[in-house]
């Protein structure tokens, strides 16, 4: 290596070192000014430091190295002082009571199902859960606790939208089921919400669906995709949903937005043959025996045959018959002699033999490319496939002798007639 190459290598190494001089995990910025990400805290966010995640439901203010920020030499878990979205705060962050004065994060609890908020920054109660989440409607506002009057705290009262109806962004005011003015995914709207009634939503025909539901009155043509584990045979058209067929047993698909075939379904088993118009059920591929996996992610139930043995469709492994050679994929055999008069190898019989009307023994052919193992039976005779190994095994064709004698005597009579 010359000096130029050495210098180039040193420069590249320096670049590599610089590229690897990154911030700690869960931190961002540039070397020398790294900050822990929001929701994390630490005393050092550089590549040799650590950013710790706040307890569940708590978070920090925006990343900062200032006093009280989430990244500086004096930072403690106390900076986890805010509640995440859809959590309410029962106790502010601070030092716990006791001689050790241990720092502690805020105590945050998840809002009741269907309720939520944009987070909390001060201690309170469940009444901080002031809104209803998407696909819920509100029947009562939250109530703050008032111990003096015996009033207990309560979150907003939120009811799940019924029968496939919903709403896109939730609600923050008291209403009724008419707040459920859209249809959720895989439903279409046959009538809009009105008065106190939610939108009338119909489930898409089996297998079909849509990604985001519908917000206006429509028909099943908005069901224009196929759901998971289905494949599409026809696009949606006016008044008609997409046509979707289920994937075969032990297979799956991620759904479809265009016309495809059963080939888009994948067998659970990694050693199964690919599905197609001719193979419509999951089975072990050539050279593998057993039963395919019945659960996605399950270990393969298809095991490879020992070397020199073949199988198809998961059947037991077999040895190729005499006069044949195994195929590369261990899915069958080929007869060494494939010349005129020999039958192609058949997995149902696993023999090499002569066709009807021929005699011979192709099973003695030891070399691929051998020819002439089968010979046509003598004139006027024939054989059943595989039943004749010598010319004497060929049998007389019924009527062949009689026909020959008729021809012979006809010729004799013709000659006599000429002489007379």
The whole-number average pLDDT for the span 377-399 is 95
Span 298-312, pLDDT tens digits: 999 999 999 999 999
Q: What is the rounded CA–CA span in Å between residue 118 and residue 35? A: 24
Question: Could you give the C-alpha distances from 248 to 91, 268, 270, 279, 283, in angstroms and in order?
Answer: 54, 11, 15, 10, 11
Burial, 67: exposed, middle or buried (Cβ in 10 Å; 0-12, 13-18, 19+)? exposed
Per-residue pLDDT at 405 = 45
Question: Could you give the C-alpha distances from 168 to 7, 40, 195, 200, in angstroms and in order?
Answer: 61, 31, 19, 16
Residue from 321, 329, 316, 334 nearest 285 by CA: 329
Per-residue pLDDT at 101 = 79
Per-residue pLDDT at 9 = 52
Listing DSSP states for 234-303 in one string gives E--BTTBPPEEEEPPTTEE---BSS---GGGSEESSTTBPPP-SS--S--BPTTEEE---SSTTPPP-EE
Per-residue pLDDT at 272 = 98
Question: Could you give the C-alpha distances from 44 to 54, 78, 102, 103, 420, in angstroms and in order?
Answer: 16, 16, 20, 18, 132
Residue 15: is its pLDDT beyond 90? Answer: no
Q: CA torsion 213→216→221→227, rounded to 10°?
A: 0
The overall pTM is greater than 0.85: no
Q: What is the rounded CA–CA span in Å between residue 370 and residue 63? A: 80
Residue from 370, 373, 397, 371 nearest 383 by CA: 397
Span 75-105, pLDDT tens digits: 999 999 999 999 999 999 998 755 577 999 9
The whole-number average pLDDT for the span 49-71 is 97
Per-residue pLDDT at 147 = 84
Cβ-Cβ contacts under 8 Å for 230 (sequence gap 6 or more): 207, 208, 244, 245, 246, 247, 253, 255, 256
Residue 5: is its pLDDT beyond 80? Answer: no
Between 2 and 83, residue with greater pLDDT:
83
Q: Token pair of 4, please?
A: 């130029």
* 229, 248 Cβ separation under 8 angstroms: no
Per-residue pLDDT at 227 = 98
Category of 161 on φ-ψ map: left (φ > 0), alpha (ψ -120 to 50) or beta:
beta
The whole-number average pLDDT for the span 389-400 is 90
Between 133 and 16, residue with greater pLDDT:
133
Average pLDDT taken over every residue of the chain: 91
Residue from 207, 283, 211 nearest 246 by CA: 207
Identify the helix (H) or strand (E) that includes residue 115: strand 115-116
Q: What is the rounded CA–CA span in Å between residue 287 and residue 304? A: 6
DSSP at 16: H
Per-residue pLDDT at 13 = 44
Rg of the chain on CA atoms, in Å: 40
Residue from 283, 279, 304, 281 nearest 292 by CA: 283
The whole-number average pLDDT for the span 368-380 is 97
Residue 410: is its pLDDT beyond 70? Answer: no
What phi and psi, each to the nearest 5 degrees, are found at residue 116?
-170, -170
Q: What is the rounded CA–CA span in Å between residue 229 and residue 314? A: 24
Cβ-Cβ contacts under 8 Å for 329 (sequence gap 6 or more): 285, 286, 287
Span 323-367, pLDDT tens digits: 999 999 999 999 999 999 999 999 999 999 999 999 999 999 999
Residue from 327, 358, 366, 326 nearest 342 by CA: 358
Span 115-144, pLDDT tens digits: 999 999 999 999 999 999 999 999 999 999
* 378, 388 Cβ separation under 8 angstroms: no
DSSP at 5: H
Per-residue pLDDT at 420 = 55
Tell me how crowded residue 10 is: count the other CB atoms within 10 A of its CB: 10
Q: CA torsion 171→177→183→187, rounded to 10°?
A: 150
Beta strands in 150-227 (DSSP E): 157-160, 165-166, 182-183, 187-191, 200-203, 208-209, 225-226
* 396, 380 Cβ separation under 8 angstroms: yes
């Amino acid at each position: 290596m010359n000096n130029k190459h050495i210098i180039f290598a040193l420069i590249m190494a320096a670049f590599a070192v610089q590229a690897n001089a990154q911030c700690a995990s869960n931190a961002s910025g540039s070397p020398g000014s790294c900050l822990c990400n929001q929701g994390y805290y630490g005393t050092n966010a550089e590549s040799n430091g650590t950013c710790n995640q706040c307890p569940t439901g708590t978070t920090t203010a925006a990343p900062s190295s200032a006093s009280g920020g989430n990244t500086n030499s004096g930072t403690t878990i106390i900076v986890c002082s805010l509640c995440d979205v859809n959590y309410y705060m029962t106790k502010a962050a601070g030092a716990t009571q006791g001689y050790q004065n241990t720092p502690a994060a805020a105590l945050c609890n998840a809002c009741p199902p269907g309720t939520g908020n944009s987070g909390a920054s001060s201690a309170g109660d469940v009444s901080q859960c002031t809104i209803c989440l998407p696909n819920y409607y509100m029947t009562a506002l939250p109530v703050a606790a008032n111990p003096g009057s015996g009033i207990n705290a309560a979150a907003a009262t939120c009811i799940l939208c019924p029968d496939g109806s919903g709403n896109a962004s939730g609600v923050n005011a008291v209403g009724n089921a008419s707040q459920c003015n859209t249809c959720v995914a895989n439903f279409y709207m046959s009538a809009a919400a009105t008065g106190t009634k939610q939108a009338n939503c119909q489930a898409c025909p089996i297998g079909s669906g849509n990604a985001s539901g519908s917000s206006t009155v429509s028909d099943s043509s908005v069901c224009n995709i196929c759901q998971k584990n289905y494949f599409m045979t026809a696009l949606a058209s006016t008044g008609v949903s997409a046509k979707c067929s289920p994937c075969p047993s032990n297979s799956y698909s991620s759904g479809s937005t265009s016309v495809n075939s059963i080939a888009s379904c994948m067998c659970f088993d990694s050693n199964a043959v690919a599905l197609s118009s001719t193979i419509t059920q999951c089975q072990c591929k050539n050279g593998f025996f057993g039963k395919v996996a019945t659960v996605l992610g399950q270990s393969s139930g298809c095991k490879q045959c020992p070397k020199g043995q073949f199988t198809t469709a998961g059947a037991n492994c077999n040895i190729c018959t005499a006069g044949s050679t195994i195929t590369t994929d261990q899915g069958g055999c080929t007869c060494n002699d494939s010349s005129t008069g020999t039958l192609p190898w058949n997995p149902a019989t696993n023999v090499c033999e002569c066709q009807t009307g021929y005699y011979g023994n192709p099973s003695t052919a030891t070399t691929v490319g051998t020819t002439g193992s089968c010979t046509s039976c003598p004139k006027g005779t024939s054989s059943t496939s595989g039943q004749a190994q010598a010319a004497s095994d060929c049998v007389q064709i019924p009527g062949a002798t009689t026909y020959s004698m008729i021809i012979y005597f006809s010729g004799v009579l013709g000659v006599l007639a000429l002489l007379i």
